[in-house]
Amino acid sequence: MTITIDPTNLSAETKLLLKRLLYTSQEIYFEPGRYKVKRSFMKTDTVEIFLTHHLVKGFCKHNPEYKRVEVLGKKLGSGSYGSLYDSLGVLHTEKNMHFKVRTPDKEKVVKQVNLKHSAHLDVIAEEKQINLCSNKIRCKPSLFNSNYGFLRMTKAHGIPLDDLISSIQKGKTKLSLLKLLKLSINLITALHNLHKQGWIHRDIKPDNIIVDLENLEVTLIDFGFTCKKGSVEVLQGNWYYIAPEYVDSYVVTRKIDWFSMGKTLAELWGDRSIDSFNSDECTIDEAYSYHSCEEFIDLFHCVDMPKEFQNDLKVSLQNMTRVDPTKRIGYKEMRQALQTLIDKVESSEINHKLVHENCIKLCDSDHTPAYSAEANSEEDTEDNSEDYSEKCLFKFKTR
């Protein structure tokens, strides 16, 4: 007979069986499935159990003999790096296998990194980057087995911006004009705050941004490529969002993030250019040529917005995505443009519903893990005197 073990709801018998599994194995990661365990430490006969959840075994910092076991819930996402899971809570072996559900302010997610694609040091480096780049989110020390590294991180709530954009463009979600403008300000402010800490993200795109529709709080995620200003040896990011000068020279400045944010904002406001862009088969020259057009497709098609406001915002979005970085605007200019539009909207006599209607939230949206970069309205401290290599500027003149 197979005994089912649900770590979130243990009986006296299943507590003993699960504890034996955890203590008699050197493994730290247990997938859902069937296992053989001894009925007791003194006897040799075994019983088959069926584990219902993923488990990741850590250690109590006060006493290494005791275990802290993360009980994982559903998979939140996956990619070349591995998978991301929600953490339902923790099993305390020293407290008679007590399962403790995390309070909302202590919720966590676990990122399972496939070591076939990443080295141990890469996982530890990402852990360090998260703790350095975020003023809210913390990552506990990484855990490893022979196949995976496990990052245990603070969980933030919201929905990925790419899901929100998709829902808006499909007509499933509606945001008022004011909400879209204020969300846009929060997006650029979150990036500005990261820059003020001296970091450049290098991978700004809608699926690396989380939005809480309740308060429009914006959270940047995935700091795996984040670095300081300077040159890098490896080009990282999605071709569609990568700034042309970064491709040409491998020089990292804040300007490359503002290009990516400009592309992201344009999508939020209805741009469909990405639909005609094949990142998988695109070459460097093709990407450069594509971005040189500096045009959008169907911008504002899903937004109720007066024509005169559309023209003003379109110019600002074009200025954020200029191929020449010396002509590209950043936080200060874009914030001023958005605030001017907000002031115009609030003082105008356009349809009240258009301006003030509440958003219709996404149905069945998940709480999504994130690394927080809290938005605020501090004065701009951005240094616009970015240095660009002669090679980089030469290509702007000759292409």
| CA gyration radius, the chain | 24
Instruction: Taking the CA atoms of 300, 302, 306 and 307 in sequence, report the sign of the dihedral they define.
Output: positive
Tokens linked to 78: 């996956």
Rounded to two decimals, the pTM is: 0.78
Cα separations in angstroms, 307 against 239, 303, 313, 314, 333: 31, 11, 10, 10, 21
Q: What is the mean pLDDT of residues 276-289?
A: 69
Three-state secondary-structure class, residue 109:
strand
Looking at residue 234, what is its pLDDT?
63
pLDDT digits (tens, 9 = 90+) for 224-282: 788 888 766 666 677 789 888 887 777 889 999 999 999 999 999 999 988 877 666 66
Set out the domains of the chain in order of their start, with CATH numbers.
Answer: 3-154 (3.30.200.20), 159-345 (1.10.510.10)
Provide, rounded to the nearest whole percent, the portion of the chain with pLDDT above 90. Answer: 46
Per-residue pLDDT at 21 exceeds 90:
yes
Q: For tokens 């018998």, what's the residue?
A: 13
The CA distance from 389 to 220, in Å, is: 29
- DSSP string across 260-274: HHHHHHHHHTT--GG
Highest mean pLDDT among 130-134, 218-222, 333-337: 333-337
The CA distance from 155 to 368, in Å, is: 7
Per-residue pLDDT at 353 exceeds 80:
no
Which residues touch 222 (CB under 8 Å, ≥6 apart)?
203, 208, 371
Q: Is 361 exposed, middle or buried (0-12, 13-18, 19+ CB in 10 A)?
A: middle
pLDDT digits (tens, 9 = 90+) for 29-40: 999 999 999 877
Per-residue pLDDT at 339 exceeds 50:
yes
The CA distance from 252 to 202, in Å, is: 8
Q: Is 139 exposed, middle or buried (0-12, 13-18, 19+ CB in 10 A)?
A: buried
Provide, rounded to the nearest whole percent, the portion of the chain with pLDDT above 70. Answer: 79
Q: What is the mean pLDDT of residues 279-306?
A: 78
Looking at residue 350, what is its pLDDT?
58
pLDDT digits (tens, 9 = 90+) for 79-98: 667 788 999 999 998 889 99
- Around Cβ 3, how many Cβ atoms within 10 Å? 14
Looking at residue 369, what is its pLDDT?
39
Looking at residue 365, what is its pLDDT?
41
Amino acid at 20: R
Looking at residue 362, what is its pLDDT?
47
Looking at residue 388, what is its pLDDT?
47
- CB of 69 closer than 8 Å to CB of 22: yes
Per-residue pLDDT at 191 exceeds 90:
yes
Cα pseudo-dihedral 205, 207, 213, 216, rounded to 10: -30
Q: Is 314 exposed, middle or buried (0-12, 13-18, 19+ CB in 10 A)?
A: middle
| Average pLDDT of the chain, as a whole number | 82
Per-residue pLDDT at 359 exceeds 90:
no
Burial code of 162-198, b = ≥16 C-beta within 10 A, e = fewer?
bbbbebbbeeebbbbbbbbbbbbbbbbbbbbbbbeee
Q: What is the mean pLDDT of residues 167-176?
A: 92
The CA distance from 120 to 40, in Å, is: 36
Three-state secondary-structure class, residue 41:
coil
Closest CA to 193 of 257, 243, 125, 138: 257
Per-residue pLDDT at 355 exceeds 80:
no
